[in-house]
């Protein structure tokens, strides 16, 4: 350990309590943030570091991207991810003068709620000092979820490793707003996005620090990372979380996470999904197995991705395409008729199972007779592929819904089938976060629980109070006002039915 780091640690021991106990105060002793991973993640010598950066940028190509508003970059050791990071930074106009540069990463070193901005000093690297923007103090003082606690920053590498790239590439002076997100709260990501959204414009740039998959083998990493990159390209926070959860629940050997900085990426998407003229573009992909220092049995994935106005790249238009929706409806119909006549669930033709039909996702199957409900059952936490969950829920809707007698073989052909593919549950702290017609609701209190799908609001014409009251009383059985003291969760649904595709089934 260097003498400088030892001195810094002694300083924290002596002054740490007084500096950290009032995280919203601005009266503090100026303390520059010293490099924590220089000499390990990247060279600690300025000459060696500059030479390495020069090599990365000379190899990187400029894509057809004009004035990116944000870049997504990896944060591993430079020998593994440096060339990928340089490919993202090279898309920035190096002659541009930025008003603000937002540097956002997710905590790797400690758990805490909210976000922390370092305001007590500047950042030091082997290439010199990077000044912290005065806007950082304003953000701390005007947002409840943002503090200026130094602890999350002291040993965190995800922001530090980005600084030499900025120092090397940008020709004009710049300042940064260094933000670390703690915990795994989607609500915090939304609130932080709300605080930062006014600054998402051509005068500023957002640098989002994240690696992708951790520790699968080389080939499985490529598949998982491609799904996560495509999730970003959808520019939908809902789809991003849905796909992330499905990747992480897909039984990939040794997969620890689909994306270590997903909260940082989600924060960005919460901003950009409101801007229809902003889209994402993939620049380059590599993983640690591509480095001469890495093996291919346990790898970490790295993507360079940019967000800009007018940037377009073909992405998944929906979680399921039309053919997959039709095939799931065919599977449900065959399952219904076969089970009611033979008491067995038929096997599916694996050649027809494509894309996200193979991924794990919650789903409900609804049966209707002359537009009246005849059965509805679902699963929020499936442990099998979507097409198998659809089969199970079809059988359950026909035979296990306690509100109805089992469907008979003779009436099966008169029923219409509707499938709702669900996003993951998100816990909310207030009914104000529930949007009638967009969200389904799941209410839980002790051993009691119940849910209404989003489309129930449209079908009944209920108000929000009526929707929650009926769900609380009729489904969760905790009384009309029971939802007010219960746990509330919301979710969205991709809904399709046989009537929609009646000419193609």
pLDDT at 350 over 60: yes
Beta carbons of 478 and 486 less than 8 angstroms apart: yes
Task: Say yes or no: 414 and 433 in one domain.
Answer: no
Task: Say yes or no: 435 and 290 in one domain.
Answer: no
Query: Helix crossing, 186-196 with 237-248: angle to 10°?
Result: 150
pLDDT at 457 over 90: no
State the pLDDT at residue 429: 87
Residue 470 lies in a domain: yes
* Domain with 229 in it: 3-309
Phi, psi dihedrals of residue 444, rounded to the nearest 5°: -140, 130
Measured distance CA(261)–CA(36) in Å, rounded:
19
Task: Say yes or no: 339 and 363 in one domain.
Answer: yes
State the pLDDT at residue 13: 40
Task: Say yes or no: 192 and 238 in one domain.
Answer: yes
Residue 502 lies in a domain: no
State the pLDDT at residue 142: 96
pLDDT at 319 over 80: no
Task: Say yes or no: 468 and 331 in one domain.
Answer: no
CATH of the domain at 240: 3.40.830.10
**What's the rounded mean pLDDT across residues 56-71?**
88
pLDDT at 440 over 90: yes
State the pLDDT at residue 318: 58
pLDDT level of residue 15 (50, 70, 90 thresholds): very low
Of 436 and 172, the one with more pLDDT:
172
**What's the rounded mean pLDDT across residues 55-69?**
88
Measured distance CA(350)–CA(186) in Å, rounded:
35
Sign of CA dihedral 481, 482, 484, 490: negative
**What's the rounded mean pLDDT across residues 17-37?**
65
Reported as a single tens digit per residue, the pLDDT across 354-404 is: 888 988 788 999 999 998 999 999 998 887 889 999 999 999 999 999 999
**What's the rounded mean pLDDT across residues 237-255?**
90
Residue 85 parent element (H or E) = helix 78-89
- Residue from 156, 144, 150, 229 nearest 188 by CA: 144
pLDDT at 251 over 80: yes
Residue 505 lies in a domain: no
Reported as a single tens digit per residue, the pLDDT across 460-482 is: 889 899 999 999 999 999 999 99
Residue 316 lies in a domain: no
Task: Say yes or no: 267 and 411 in one domain.
Answer: no
pLDDT at 24 over 80: no
pLDDT at 25 over 70: no
CATH of the domain at 430: 3.30.1490.150
Residue 263 lies in a domain: yes
pLDDT at 340 over 60: yes
φ/ψ region of 489 (left if φ > 0, alpha if ψ in -120 to 50, else beta) reads: beta
Residue 501 lies in a domain: no
Lowest average pLDDT, out of 149-158, 391-400, 455-464, 484-493, goes to 455-464
CATH of the domain at 387: 3.30.700.20
Domain end marker among 396, 422, 448:
422
Beta carbons of 372 and 415 less than 8 angstroms apart: no
pLDDT at 436 over 60: yes
State the pLDDT at residue 115: 98
Which residues have C-beta within 8 Å of that of residue 483, sequence separation ≥ 6? 431, 443, 468, 469, 471, 472, 476
Reported as a single tens digit per residue, the pLDDT across 117-138 is: 999 999 999 999 999 999 999 9
Task: Say yes or no: 402 and 441 in one domain.
Answer: no
| Alpha carbon separation from 24 to 13, 147, 398 (Å, rounded) | 20, 6, 57
| Alpha carbon separation from 66 to 71, 204, 248, 311, 376 (Å, rounded) | 12, 14, 34, 8, 50
Report the percent of the chain where pLDDT is more than 70: 93
Number of folded domains in the chain? 3
**What's the rounded mean pLDDT across residues 339-365?**
91
- Residue 500, number of CB atoms within 10 A of its CB: 15
φ/ψ region of 370 (left if φ > 0, alpha if ψ in -120 to 50, else beta) reads: left
Three-state secondary structure of 258-272: CCCCHHHHHHHHHHH
Lowest average pLDDT, out of 20-24, 125-129, 140-144, 153-157, goes to 20-24
Domain end marker among 422, 455, 472:
422
State the pLDDT at residue 6: 42
Tell me the pTM. 0.61
- Residue from 154, 101, 100, 99 nearest 123 by CA: 154
Reported as a single tens digit per residue, the pLDDT across 282-306 is: 899 999 999 999 999 999 999 999 9
State the pLDDT at residue 1: 43
Report the percent of the chain where pLDDT is more than 90: 74
pLDDT at 431 over 80: yes
State the pLDDT at residue 371: 86
State the pLDDT at residue 314: 40
Residue 85 lies in a domain: yes
Task: Say yes or no: 188 and 246 in one domain.
Answer: yes
With b for 16 or more beta-carbon neighbours within 10 A and e for fewer, the 5-34 pattern comes to: eeebeeeeeeeeeebbeebeeeebeebebb
Task: Say yes or no: 347 and 303 in one domain.
Answer: no
Task: Say yes or no: 431 and 364 in one domain.
Answer: no
Residue 133's DSSP bridge partners are none
State the pLDDT at residue 27: 54
Task: Say yes or no: 398 and 305 in one domain.
Answer: no
Residue 504 lies in a domain: no
Task: Say yes or no: 349 and 275 in one domain.
Answer: no
Which residues have C-beta within 8 Å of that of residue 249, sequence separation ≥ 6? 360, 383
Residue 327 parent element (H or E) = helix 322-342
What's the CA angle centered on 178, arms 262 and 86, to 5 degrees?
Answer: 70
Of 154 and 318, the one with more pLDDT:
154
- Mean pLDDT (the chain, rounded): 90
pLDDT at 266 over 50: yes
pLDDT at 5 over 60: no
State the pLDDT at residue 19: 35
Domain end marker among 422, 446, 465:
422
Reported as a single tens digit per residue, the pLDDT across 82-116 is: 999 999 999 999 999 999 999 999 999 999 999 99
């Amino acid at each position: 350990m260097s003498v400088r780091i030892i001195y810094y640690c002694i300083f924290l021991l002596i002054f740490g309590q007084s500096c950290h106990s009032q995280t919203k105060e601005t009266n503090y002793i100026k303390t520059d943030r010293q490099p924590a991973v220089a000499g390990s993640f990247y060279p600690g010598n300025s000459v060696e570091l500059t030479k390495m950066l020069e090599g990365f940028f000379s190899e990187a190509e400029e894509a057809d991207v004009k004035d990116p508003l944000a870049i997504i970059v990896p944060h591993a050791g430079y020998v593994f991810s440096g060339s990928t990071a340089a490919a993202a930074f090279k898309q920035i106009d190096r002659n541009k003068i930025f008003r603000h540069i937002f540097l956002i990463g997710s905590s790797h070193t400690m758990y805490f709620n909210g976000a922390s901005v370092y305001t007590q000093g500047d950042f030091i690297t082997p290439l010199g000092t990077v000044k912290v923007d005065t806007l950082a103090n304003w953000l701390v003082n005007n947002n409840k979820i943002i503090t200026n606690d130094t602890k999350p920053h002291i040993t965190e590498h995800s922001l530090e490793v980005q600084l030499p790239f900025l120092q090397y590439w940008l020709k004009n002076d710049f300042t940064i707003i260094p933000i670390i997100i703690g915990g795994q709260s989607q609500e915090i990501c939304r609130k932080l996005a709300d605080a930062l959204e006014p600054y998402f414009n051509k005068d500023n740039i957002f640098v989002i620090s994240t690696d992708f998959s951790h520790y699968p083998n080389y080939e499985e990493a490529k598949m998982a990372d491609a799904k996560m990159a495509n999730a970003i390209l959808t520019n939908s926070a809902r789809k991003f979380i849905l796909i992330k959860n499905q990747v992480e629940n897909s039984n990939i050997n040794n997969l620890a996470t689909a994306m270590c900085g997903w909260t940082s990426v989600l924060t960005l998407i919460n901003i950009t999904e409101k801007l229809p003229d902003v889209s994402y573009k993939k620049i380059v992909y590599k993983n640690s197995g591509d480095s001469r220092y890495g093996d291919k049995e346990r790898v970490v994935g790295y993507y360079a991705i940019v967000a800009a106005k007018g940037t377009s790249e073909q992405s998944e238009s929906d979680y399921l395409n039309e053919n997959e929706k039709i095939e799931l409806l065919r599977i449900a119909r065959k399952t219904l008729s076969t089970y009611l006549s033979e008491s067995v669930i038929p096997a599916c033709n694996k050649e027809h199972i494509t894309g996200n039909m193979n991924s794990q996702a919650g789903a409900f199957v609804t049966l209707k007779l002359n537009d009246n409900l005849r059965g509805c059952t679902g699963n929020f936490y499936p442990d099998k592929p979507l097409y198998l969950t659809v089969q199970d829920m079809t059988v359950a809707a026909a035979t296990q819904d306690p509100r109805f007698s089992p469907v008979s073989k003779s009436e099966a052909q008169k029923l219409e089938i509707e499938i709702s593919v669900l996003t993951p549950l998100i816990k909310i702290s207030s009914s104000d976060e529930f949007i009638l017609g967009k969200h389904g609701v799941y209410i839980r209190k002790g051993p009691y629980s119940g849910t209404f799908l989003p489309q129930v609001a449209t079908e009944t014409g209920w108000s929000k109070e009526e929707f929650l009251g009926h769900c609380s009383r009729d489904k969760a059985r905790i009384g009309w006002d029971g939802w007010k003291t219960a746990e509330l969760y919301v979710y969205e649904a991709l809904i399709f039915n046989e009537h929609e595709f009646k000419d193609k089934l």
